[in-house]
Amino acid sequence: MAKESQVNRFLSPTSTRVAGGRHWSKPQTPWPRQPAGTEIPLQKRATVSHEIEIERAAAQVWELVGAPSRIHEWFPGITASEVAGDRRYITNRGGHRVQERILEHDVDRRRFEYELLLPVCTFHRGVIEVHEIASARCRVVYRTEAEPAALALAIGGAAGAALDQLRATFPPEG
């Protein structure tokens, strides 16, 4: 399970911490009932962020994470990927092909940013960063922001699983 997680913006103003440090929003029902038209509106956009630490050099982890065409090697549910120009095409277990636009691929900063190009998605931004902590230890951060907010929660859950898989790909040396 991802070591640390946080949901920066919630579907509602209240939240609860559940096992593994993940935050999930709770439905909010004003109590006592508010007059019609005064309910707290749900946010349209949400951001979910996960981070883990891996006992490997940042450069070694970035070699895998920073290769857009290799996402299927560490992201569960993605069976194939290919890159053509600023587009990445991923294929999921169900055989559906999804198009993404690569917005930034910064090798020096070990930062990859992309957006999903889906009709159901009004807005999406995914960011993956690998930060050096020590010569043989790094932190990987995966952040996703999306509208509608439910999409951010779904992608964020998958991103947490992907980071768990990434950590398993790099077992501690020794």
Q: What is the pTM of this model?
A: 0.75
CA–chain centroid gap for 154, Å, is: 9
Tokens matching residue 80: 């194939």
User: Burial of 27 by CB count in 10 Å (0-12 exposed, 13-18 middle, 19+ buried)?
Assistant: exposed
Domain 4-25+42-68+102-169 class in CATH: alpha beta
For 15-61, the pLDDT digits (tens) are 333 444 444 444 444 444 555 555 555 568 999 999 999 999 999 99
For 63-121, the pLDDT digits (tens) are 999 999 999 999 999 999 999 999 999 999 999 999 999 999 999 999 999 999 999 88
Positive or negative: CA dihedral 20, 10, 105, 95: positive
